[in-house]
């Protein structure tokens, strides 16, 4: 009897989108009268993306996914998974709006997933299962979030926004995901957002401890299930609420796994996040985009990824970069998305922050601000309208 090999499954294409505006941490530090080194060095952040009034999780998600469909069409896509914790409705999936904006066929299942910053990885794992069962199918996964904390809170400098879309297929061109995954869940009160709040309740110091505990737990589970030793992993990507967290995480994991801490193993993955700020569930995958875009000889190299979503659910897994990855990346497009953002001053940023509180009780029209391909146009009869 001949041996049957399951096809490799993983990420075949990937694109990043962000907002119209940006605020520098230097401006925020000046407004608060604190040393900008706290943000630049202490948090590892230079600036963060700020949404225009006509941008939201839906418009960012659709903008991230559009280049994938322009490149390879919609054939084979039967599932759209949208991961977010900044969704726009408590019942209807933000993905249904994205499905229409992208002109996807009706023969597609659409669902939204939520578990703080972990949901994108849950979506990836579900997608891998669907494709493993039927390798002819493709799954469109979109991680899209706008991280918004209270003004003048400790979390304020760790805001940001990003969306990353990726296609999960058999025989992927970018990253083949290894079958072994380590998972860790614990009920922790580090960060949550009750239904009556538009910003989270957060215990920042606890969230850092919970993140590191979860990293240890997920990695130990990965090892117990036969995962590769850390010495066989060449690059590491971490969930990055702020990029300094990836440094703390990698030091912690290196200590647990008995390898030397080498900042070169995480450096490329921090490049976009330093400028995007926190993209919640998109942040790990923005790190993947940055790694692929900034290193030319990754083919055949193994990458370790750690996903953490407060509350808390986490996963450590690995994947192998595929030979064709360089031809599929979007280095210039990603640089353009970051460079095109229009800087705002602190007063404008504070006004934009407040305007995001607008409810659905009254109809309104929003003037065009964003230059993105899709926009949120306003509310009519409690329905959000997208163009």
Selected catalytic residue, list 85, 112, 247, 315:
85
Strand partners, 78: none
Pick between residue 241 and residue 304 the one whose CB is nearest to ligand COA.
241
**Please, is 74 exposed, middle or buried when counting C-beta atoms within 10 Å of its C-beta (0-12, 13-18, 19+)?**
middle
Cα-Cα-Cα-Cα dihedral of 58, 60, 62, 66, to 10°? 180
Based on the shown chain and the rule CB under 6 A, indicate whether residue 155 belongs to the binding site for ligand COA.
yes
How far is it, in rounded angstroms, from Cα 355 to Cα 372?
Answer: 19
Q: What is the b/e burial string over 284-311, where b = at least 16 CB atoms within 10 angstroms of the residue's CB?
A: bbbbbbbbbbbbeebeebbbbbbbbbbb
What is the x/- site pattern for ligand COA, positions 42-71, by CB under 6 A? xx----------------------------
CB of 119 to ligand COA, least distance (A): 14
Considering only residues 228 to 247 of the shown chain, the ones binding ligand COA according to CB under 6 A are 241-242, 245
Q: Considering only 97-105, 150-158, 263-271, 332-340, which stretch makes contact with ligand COA by CB under 6 A?
A: 150-158
Cα-Cα-Cα-Cα dihedral of 41, 47, 48, 51, to 10°? 170
How far is it, in rounded angstroms, from Cα 167 to Cα 115?
Answer: 21
Q: Considering only 66-74, 92-100, 200-208, 216-224, which stretch makes contact with ligand COA by CB under 6 A?
A: 200-208
Q: Considering only 16-24, 103-111, 198-206, 322-330, which stretch makes contact with ligand COA by CB under 6 A?
A: 198-206
Based on the shown chain and the rule CB under 6 A, indicate whether residue 220 belongs to the binding site for ligand COA.
no
Q: For this structure, is 184 an active site residue?
A: no
Selected catalytic residue, list 117, 222, 250, 315:
117
Q: Considering only 78-86, 94-102, 202-210, 365-373, which stretch makes contact with ligand COA by CB under 6 A?
A: 202-210
**Residues in Cβ contact with 73 at an 8 Å cutoff, skipping those fewer than 6 apart:** none
Angle subtended at Cα 34 by Cα 31 and Cα 35, rounded to the nearest 5 degrees: 125
Contact call for residues 350 and 150 (beta carbons, < 8 A) = no
Based on the shown chain and the rule CB under 6 A, indicate whether residue 38 belongs to the binding site for ligand COA.
yes
Based on the shown chain and the rule CB under 6 A, indicate whether residue 208 belongs to the binding site for ligand COA.
yes
Q: For this structure, is 362 an active site residue?
A: no
Given the rule CB under 6 A, which residues bind ligand COA?
Answer: 35, 37-38, 41-43, 154-155, 157-158, 202, 204-205, 207-208, 211, 241-242, 245, 310
């Amino acid at each position: 009897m001949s041996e049957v090999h399951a096809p490799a499954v993983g990420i075949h294409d990937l694109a990043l989108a962000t907002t119209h505006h940006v605020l520098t941490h230097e401006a925020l530090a000046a407004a608060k009268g604190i040393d900008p080194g706290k943000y630049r060095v202490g948090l590892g952040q230079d600036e963060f993306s700020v949404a225009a009034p006509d941008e939201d999780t839906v418009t960012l998600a659709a903008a991230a996914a559009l280049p994938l469909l322009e490149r390879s069409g919609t054939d084979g896509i039967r599932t759209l998974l949208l991961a977010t914790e900044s969704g726009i409705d408590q019942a209807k999936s933000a993905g249904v709006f994205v499905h229409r904006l992208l002109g996807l066929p009706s023969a597609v299942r659409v669902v939204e997933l939520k578990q703080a910053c972990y949901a994108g990885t849950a979506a990836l794992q579900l997608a891998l299962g669907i494709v493993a069962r039927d390798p002819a199918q493709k799954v469109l996964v979109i991680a899209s979030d706008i991280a918004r904390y209270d003004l003048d809170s400790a979390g304020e400098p760790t805001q940001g926004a990003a969306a990353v879309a990726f296609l999960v297929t058999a025989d992927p061109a970018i990253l083949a995901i290894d079958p072994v995954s380590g998972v860790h869940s614990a009920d922790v009160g580090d960060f949550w957002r009750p239904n009556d709040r538009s910003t989270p309740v957060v215990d920042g110091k606890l969230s850092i401890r919970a993140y590191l505990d979860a990293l240890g737990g997920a990695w130990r589970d990965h090892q117990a299930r036969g995962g590769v030793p850390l010495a066989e992993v060449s690059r590491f990507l971490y969930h990055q609420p702020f990029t300094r967290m990836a440094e703390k995480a990698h030091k912690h994991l290196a200590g647990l796994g008995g390898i030397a801490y080498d900042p070169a193993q995480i450096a490329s993955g921090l490049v976009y996040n330093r400028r995007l700020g926190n993209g919640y569930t998109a942040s790990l995958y923005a790190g993947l985009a940055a790694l692929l875009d900034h290193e030319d000889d990754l083919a055949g190299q193994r990458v370790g990824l750690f996903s953490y979503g407060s509350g808390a659910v986490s996963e450590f897994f690995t994947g192998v970069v595929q030979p064709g990855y360089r031809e599929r990346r979007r280095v210039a497009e990603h640089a353009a998305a970051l460079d095109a953002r229009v800087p705002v001053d602190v007063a404008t940023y504070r006004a934009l922050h407040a305007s995001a509180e607008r409810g659905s009780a009254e109809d309104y029209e929003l003037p065009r601000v964003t230059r993105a391909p899709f926009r949120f146009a306003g509310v009519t009869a409690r329905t959000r309208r997208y163009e």
